[in-house]
Amino acid sequence: MIVSLLLALFYNYSFFKNILSVYPLDGVNIGFLLSLAVVLYALTVLFFTLLSTKWTVKPLLIFVLLVSSMTAYFMNTYHVVIDESMIRNAFQTDIKESMDLFSFKQVFYFVFLGILPAYWVYKTPLIERGFKKELFAKLKTVLIAVAVILLMVMPFSKHYASFLREHKPLRYSVNPLYWIYSIGKYSYDTFSKHDTKVKPIGVDATIPNGKRKKLMVFVVGEAARADHFGLNGYKRETNPLLKQEQNLINFPDFYACGTSTAHSVPCMFSPLDRASYSDSKASSMENVLDILKHTNKVALLWRDNNSDSKGVALRIPYEWYKSPQNNKICVEGECRDIGMLKDLDTFIQHNKDKNIMIVLHQMGNHGPAYYKRYPKAFEKFTPVCKTNQLEACTQEEIANAYDNALLYTDYFLDQTIQWLKKYNNKYQTAMFYVADHGESLGEKGLYLHGMPYFMAPDAQKHVGAFLWFGSDADNQKYLHLLGEKAGKHYSHDNLFHTILGFFNVQTKLYDPKQDILYAP
């Protein structure tokens, strides 16, 4: 009961701040807010009572206190939501990425809201009362907790009706109940699919003979929001090199299927659209890269300067470029995206009798340490936020660091295009750039990404995307076609079919209506 009180009072700042934005502290709302605080306390007591035994009570409370101290930190600092998607991100984030989030403020939270109360729980002696007395005590506590909840809810039923039906996102910041629910849901989804076999798809895929060989570099961008691209009319010139490319077609109205890397990257290559996509479905079936592999006419390679491929490249050649062992352009522990272009010529030579698709997964604009994502020579916009504590910087400083990282991406993509131009005479070349998701930079107090899609701001969903084609006669039809329809609405849902269309793959799964490059 004491731990529940501590959690309600000191770990739910974000929850009550969000509540006050909808229910101002005046009139009848004061009674509702007090009622809500008591209900939160009673629900937490009820939860602990049902799960606590003499063997579990201390480990349970200690674990909840330690984790809740961290969830309170991230919710209070970055205003993120700790839902199933964020839990998945946490498990799939490597140590180097985690260190970008480390701060002394985080240590303060962990010590004072985690370690100290957890130590107090550990040192508190337990008094055994026997089975019958303990059962009676638990039953009494449960009944009292339920009665308190009912008595608190009934006088404010209208408020609770709107709270539960019209303002569902508010409860996503309840600490610890919502993150416990999210861990449970993530665990169920993960373990329920543990023994699931991957279903082959597109085994009928073929590529007709006689066509000129094709070479595509597909760049998976990281956290690149569309409204900060110079190509989309941004007030700053963040794409000076790309703007000089005549054969580049920009897509100003392109949307991601998720707001996190763990969700979006598998979705980008999946046959599932955003409405039907789920992690469990995607992980139990093959993706577009597997279909290309089935044709036996496409050489595939995935190079990664991010955490990993999120399961997309499990069945094709994969190279990790976030280590100096492979990436020769690493400075002070930060490996640059440009390093992924090294030695690609060797891969081309080894597969010169095939079509080729190379996927480059960027570090890009991975936050919150945007200032680490680019060399000093690209620090054009100043002053720069040079800390991962974004709330300690002004929005201008954050945007400056973020835009400098985009400026470096512009350079990396231009270098990729220059590399592709060497093969214009031998291949029909193309580069397709699409970001996995966008990023919040402090607007309305929101930072980073990962908000539930239905409540996420446009900045986290509207992403940079464009196609570049080599000076090839076969590409001219694409340039003409896309010049007419580039401004239409597109999304990650189109990528599966567009990739198949570019390589002329014939399969029942291909839908020309979803292919950006299709011309009747």
> Which of 232-246, 290-304, 352-366, 385-399 comes out lowest in average pLDDT?
385-399
Of the candidates 312, 309, 299, which has an alpha carbon nearest to the alpha carbon of residue 347?
299
The predicted-structure confidence for 434-486, as pLDDT tens digits, reads as follows 999 999 999 988 899 999 999 899 999 999 999 999 987 778 888 888 988 99
Share of the chain above pLDDT 90, in %: 76
411-432 mean pLDDT: 96
Residues 220 and 104 placed together within one structural domain of the fold: no
Residues 228 and 294 placed together within one structural domain of the fold: yes
pLDDT band (50, 70, 90) for residue 335: very high
Residues 178 and 226 placed together within one structural domain of the fold: no
Residue 336, domain member (yes or no): yes
Give Dmax over CA atoms of the chain in angstroms. 85
- Which tokens sit at 324? 């100096």
| pLDDT, position 194 | 53
Residue 198, domain member (yes or no): no
CA distance 393 to 181: 33
Quickly tell me which residue has 């809201």 as its tokens. Answer: 113
pTM reported for the whole predicted model: 0.83
CATH number of the domain that residue 287 is part of: 3.40.720.10
Residue 383, domain member (yes or no): no
Helix, strand, coil distribution of the chain in percent, nearest 5: 50, 10, 35
Residues 162 and 267 placed together within one structural domain of the fold: no
Provide the domain limits for residue 340.
216-364+396-514
Residue 94: Cβ within 10 Å count: 12
- Which tokens sit at 245? 């490319």
According to DSSP, the β-strands at 428-435 and 214-221 are: parallel
CA distance 4 to 48: 8
Looking at 192, 224, 244, the residue that finishes a domain is 192
105-130 mean pLDDT: 94
Question: Alpha carbon 306 to chain centroid distance?
Answer: 12
Residue 220, domain member (yes or no): yes
Q: Is 260 helix (H, G, I), strand (E, B) or coil?
A: coil
Residues 408 and 446 placed together within one structural domain of the fold: yes
CA distance 376 to 379: 5
Residues 224 and 187 placed together within one structural domain of the fold: no
Looking at 176, 192, 208, the residue that finishes a domain is 192
Q: What amino acid is encoded at 38 in this protein?
A: V
Q: How many domains does the chain have?
A: 2
- Which tokens sit at 180? 């416990």
Residue 272, domain member (yes or no): yes
The answer to whether 468 and 247 have CB atoms below 8 angstroms apart is: yes
Residue 405, domain member (yes or no): yes
The predicted-structure confidence for 392-420, as pLDDT tens digits, reads as follows 899 999 999 999 999 999 999 999 999 99
Region label for 12, one of left (φ > 0), alpha (ψ between -120 and 50) or beta (otherwise): alpha
The answer to whether 77 and 169 have CB atoms below 8 angstroms apart is: no
Residue 370 has pLDDT above 90, yes or no: yes
The answer to whether 214 and 114 have CB atoms below 8 angstroms apart is: no
Residues 127 and 52 placed together within one structural domain of the fold: yes
Q: Which residues contact 435 (CB under 8 A, 6 or more apart)?
A: 220, 221, 222, 223, 224, 225, 226, 256, 364, 463, 464, 465
Residue 197, domain member (yes or no): no
Please tell me whether the peptide bond between 375 and the residue prior to it is cis, using omega within 30 degrees of 0: no
> Which of 121-130, 157-166, 199-208, 424-433 comes out lowest in average pLDDT?
157-166
Residues 307 and 446 placed together within one structural domain of the fold: yes
CA distance 58 to 21: 36
113-142 mean pLDDT: 93
341-370 mean pLDDT: 96
CA distance 131 to 210: 80
For 352, phi then psi, to 5°, come to -70, -15
| pLDDT, position 196 | 65
Residues 250 and 134 placed together within one structural domain of the fold: no
Residue 205, domain member (yes or no): no
The predicted-structure confidence for 150-191, as pLDDT tens digits, reads as follows 999 999 888 887 787 778 788 889 999 999 999 988 887 777
Q: Which residues contact 510 (CB under 8 A, 6 or more apart)?
A: 497, 500, 501
